[in-house]
Structure 1
Amino acid sequence: MARGFCVGLGEFLTFAAMVLAILVNIGQISQNTVARHFYLVSADLTGLQNSLTTNAAATNVQAHDIYATDQASPLLQNNGLRQYYYWGMYSVCGGEGVGGARSCSPNEFVHRFEPLDVLEADQSKNSGFNISTVLPSGTIQDNAYLGKFSNGASIILLAGTIAAGLAFLVSFLAHHFAFLISALLALLAAVCLAVAAAIWTALVAKVRSSLTSVNIGLVVHYGQSIWLTWGAAGACLLAFVPLVLSCCTARSKY
């Protein structure tokens, strides 16, 4: 009975981790309702034009019509800035919000988080200013730093997702060696997911910190996908113990 409980608990935890990690992976890959609601980081630009207008004399920036007239127009084609941006593992989307009109970039393997490049590629050539001149210096403008670490974090996150899925599937073999492999895969998944979540948490924290020196109407937020990744890492770590116990009590032959 104890063995059955340990097996069931280990399988449940690895399944939960796999589902959470998959939700992180599908975030922003399409316009469907589920994918829209999961993202690693978001940016709110709704206050940018008012801020630029208010501080025009001090900044010597005369901005006008900075937002795209059609928030669902193609992204990254100088059609104008979006009110909100959402970054997932494979693309970035922008528009009126999670449930509003919006557009997404083409999906690519582990999309790099480079906010300055996205804003410059979206900014209309008739807006009267260059976005890089009004953003504070620091992490928000450091595409090389953000791109490198976000790329690495997403690759590690993908590896953790695969490891969690394999841990769940292997546990169904119901053999002590299979449970050992499953436990090791769960531990590997926990490490990968925790490292990925830590990197993304640190990146967003540094970007937010670089924006505190000046109020320009741009606010960056942590996405719920970061917290889901932390949750998946915790579930895999918790699954390690019952899977190891299952290994000790399971049959040794098929």
Structure 2
Amino acid sequence: MRGEYCIGGASFLSFVALLLLIFVHVGQINTSLVPHGIAMAKVNTSGFGQAFSNTTHDPDQGLYTTNYTSPLGQRNGLRQIYEFGLYSYCAYVNGSAGTCTNHTIADKFEPYIALTSDMLSNYSGYCDALFANTTFINSSYLGYNSRVAYYFMLIGTILATVALFTGVIRNALFFFISTASSIVAALCILIGAAIWTSIVKKCEGINTLELTPLNGGVISGMIVSYGNGIYLAWAAFACLAAAAVPYMVSCCTFRG
């Protein structure tokens, strides 16, 4: 393979990986089109009101709000959809109308706290009992692991940038740096994506949770699912892993 093609292919893969990681980082920073479309995890609460009523035999009056501009975390009412990013989360009363929290570096993934902080206190008290002993309620576990995953993904993004820019310099040392950066970046993104995949998978247990198992079972009505940010992270890992090969070939064969 000609050296130009080799480096060109590696640079293209690194560029695609970096672009994907940028999209991952901008997910849910606001409600505009691109950030709104990208999230690491989603929680759909639209069925919870009916499940709650069936379980407690009380109406769900006041559980939800239709005012999408009201601040989050102020017990103003539950939203229908919650989407979580790396720096903040947003909540929507329908497919597009919503609001977001303030941006925080390494924002913790704590879906239970996010939901119950929007509920009136009497509802959140019930939820403590209904969701006891589930990973979904274990905010310390989810928050810690999501922060760890964030830093791995941040390091991976930085190293992907280093690999992209050093890989175009025709010098054996820079080819070595790009090779090493691409390999370590791929490993960091792999770890970050795997952690996110694992914690969301564990939270999915509430999708089939029976709130009243002794009475025939009432499913929780909350649906946790993967956000497309996780898939983008896995795709970025694949691109970086693939880019390491031509970078390595160039490093080993370049004669300057």
Normalised by the size of structure 1, how large is the TM-score? Answer: 0.92
Query: Structure 2 CA distance, aligned partners of 1:53 and 1:42?
Result: 23
1:163 match: 159
Partner of 1:173: helix, strand, or coil? coil
Query: Structure 1 CA distance, aligned partners of 2:127 and 2:205?
Result: 18
2:199 match: 203
1:7 match: 7
Deviation at 1:213, TM superposition (A): 2.9
Query: Structure 2 CA distance, aligned partners of 1:36 and 1:177?
Result: 41
Amino acid at match of 2:68: Q
Per-residue Cα deviation, 1:225-253 (whole angstroms, up to 9, x for no partner): 1011011011100001101111233343x
Deviation at 1:68, TM superposition (A): 1.4
Query: Structure 1 CA distance, aligned partners of 2:111 and 2:232?
Result: 22
Gaps of 5+ in 2: 211-218
Query: Structure 1 CA distance, aligned partners of 2:18 and 2:242?
Result: 13
Do the aligned residues in 2 keep the contact of 1:159 with 1:192 (CA within 8 Å)?
Answer: yes
Query: Structure 1 CA distance, aligned partners of 2:165 and 2:13?
Result: 12
1:55 match: 55
Deviation at 1:67, TM superposition (A): 0.7
1:32 match: 32
Query: Structure 2 CA distance, aligned partners of 1:241 and 1:127?
Result: 55
Instruction: Please tell me the root mean square deviation across aligned C-alpha atoms, in Å.
Output: 1.7
Partner of 1:103: helix, strand, or coil? strand
Query: Structure 2 CA distance, aligned partners of 1:210 and 1:51?
Result: 12
2:72 match: 75
- Moved segments of 4+, more than 6 Å: none
1:88 aligns with 2:92: no
Amino acid at match of 1:2: R
Give me the identity figure in percent: 33
Deviation at 1:176, TM superposition (A): 1.5
Query: Structure 1 CA distance, aligned partners of 2:61 and 2:122?
Result: 8
Query: Which of 240, 245, 252 matches 2:244?
Result: 240
Query: Structure 2 CA distance, aligned partners of 1:63 and 1:218?
Result: 15
Query: Structure 2 CA distance, aligned partners of 1:90 and 1:128?
Result: 25
Do the aligned residues in 2 keep the contact of 1:116 with 1:132 (CA within 8 Å)?
Answer: no
Do the aligned residues in 2 keep the contact of 1:171 with 1:182 (CA within 8 Å)?
Answer: yes
1:229 aligns with 2:243: no
Do the aligned residues in 2 keep the contact of 1:140 with 1:211 (CA within 8 Å)?
Answer: no
Number of residue-to-residue matches in the alignment? 248
Do the aligned residues in 1 keep the contact of 2:46 with 2:80 (CA within 8 Å)?
Answer: yes
Deviation at 1:173, TM superposition (A): 1.5
Deviation at 1:6, TM superposition (A): 0.5
1:42 match: 42
Per-residue Cα deviation, 1:55-109 (whole angstroms, up to 9, x for no partner): 334xxx5532211130231111111111000000000100134x51101000000
1:139 match: 135
Deviation at 1:137, TM superposition (A): 2.3
Do the aligned residues in 2 keep the contact of 1:46 with 1:217 (CA within 8 Å)?
Answer: yes
Deviation at 1:135, TM superposition (A): 2.3
Do the aligned residues in 1 keep the contact of 2:206 with 2:220 (CA within 8 Å)?
Answer: no
Q: Which moved more, 1:186-195 or 1:71-80?
A: 71-80
Query: Structure 2 CA distance, aligned partners of 1:62 and 1:129?
Result: 15
Query: Structure 2 CA distance, aligned partners of 1:32 and 1:100?
Result: 9
Gaps of 5+ in 1: none
Do the aligned residues in 2 keep the contact of 1:62 with 1:129 (CA within 8 Å)?
Answer: no
Deviation at 1:2, TM superposition (A): 1.1
